[in-house]
Structure 1
Amino acid sequence: MKGHTRGISALAIGERSDGTPVIVSGGEDGTVRMWNLDTGRP
């Protein structure tokens, strides 16, 4: 998962309200990112 500048400390898998499967990641750099599992993009 490129995008965090430090390690990833938390992950959650789920779906957006439109049914898109996602992973939400929390980084040790203080950021939270949502990743689309269909495309692999944030």
Structure 2
Amino acid sequence: FRDKLDSQREIAPLIIPEGAYIIDTSYLTPEEILGKILKIIRN
């Protein structure tokens, strides 16, 4: 809900920059999140 509001505001809307990595952490453990981040960094 908050991301929707932030992305639709008139001044400085929230945007995903080109080339950004998106990691959906909704159902991941902290260890799984770290693993995904490290994989991105190593590649």
TM-score by length of structure 1 reads 0.18
TM-score by length of structure 2 reads 0.18
Q: Which structure features the higher share of strand residues?
A: 1
Q: Which structure features the higher share of helix residues?
A: 2
Rg bigger for which structure? 2
